[in-house]
Amino acid sequence: MVSSMAASMFFPASSSSGGQPVKSSKPFGGGPDSVDVRGIVAKPASSSGRLQVKTNAQSSPKINGTKVSLRKDSQKSEDDTLSSAPRTFYNQLPDWSMLLAAITTIFLAAEKQLTLLDWKPKRPDMLSDAFGFGMTVHNDLVFRQNFSIRSYEIGADRTASIETLMNHLQETALNHVKSAGLLGDGFGATPEMSRRNLIWVVTKMQVLVERYPIWGDVVEVDTWVGASGKNGMRKDWHVRDPLTGETIMKATSVWVMMNKLTRRLTKIPEEVRGEIEPYFVERTIIVDEDGRKLPKLDDDTADYVRKGLTPHWCDLDVNQHVNNVKYIGWMLESAPISILENYELSSMTLEYRRECGRDSVVQSLTAVSTNCSDNPHDAAVECKHLLRLECGAEIVRGRTQWRPKLAHQLGEAGLMPIGSS
């Protein structure tokens, strides 16, 4: 009797001694791997000598007095089938559909990244250099970069400002040095220049503007460098419409070296010359040099004077002086409003004579050589400019030429000046 009951604890019998079927207990915990009748716990025999057996099964819950089962018979039969299935190599393999889905996701993500890196425009009017990195052309001696004219870069007449175009020139000049692997820790300085605390400063610039792009236009800027005398470097730019090849602007400039600590000009060291000379291009200057001397203005010879101009923190570059593009804006501060409304800048020549620092107070002087109020759409206008410190020290001398704005363009923009029709 005892031996038969002990055996039933580990090996469930198909039927009891009385011919009645043995009811298995509810799986413990409700899972497919729960303990059934084989998980019963036997208590030691009582004083009467009989072995008492207590199962771990819980009673079925009741709803309105009726017992209900926690699992459907179909689910029980399915679990029984799964638990009774033999363990083979095949049913121990992972879910191949999920594995294939994961691999597909990885390949799609990699393909997307490659598509972004090797992006090609599908429309001719789209920016060919999507990320603005630029590239070298013509035996790696000319650097080319594209720019899109943004809404915040246009003026009242819906065209790009001269400061915007000048900033494009400066950006391509710096990226040219970077693409050549010569960018040190300075503003366009090479490694040998950085070791000697040398920086580039511009001494002269000539700009010729054929037309001004509008919002949404894309401009293509080419730049290259060449020698300028024994201790100077010339940098030229050619700005075009990438779709038509039409010239938008041309510019040339002369740069020399200055010691960042002493703020004095210096010769180009041979070590620095060895870095930059391999990138010099023998080309004719893109803009015909204006050899006319720029006159000095004073309070007596100037027609307009604007005083109290001070640089803001955002006007300083990494060399701790005012960026040369800011000088152009200051120079035009003293230009008469009649010129700004009826004319557009067609060319300018600038001679930089002194740097401007954070605490400087600047005065802007302008002299107009033509009375632009008489016939605002008939003749070109030439102006002479001077930026100086309050103490009288010169910063920049300049000459600008202006051409009449096209009347139909002003009319389309709704900016036709009063009395000009």
As annotated, the active-site residues are 319, 321, 356
> What b/e sequence results for 159-177 when a residue is b if at least 16 CB atoms lie within 10 Å of its CB, and e otherwise?
bbbbbbbbbbbbbbbebbb
> How far, in Å, are 25, 41, 178 from residue 30 at the CA level?
11, 18, 68
Partners of 259 in beta bridges: 198
Q: Identify the helix (H) or strand (E) that includes residue 112.
A: helix 96-117
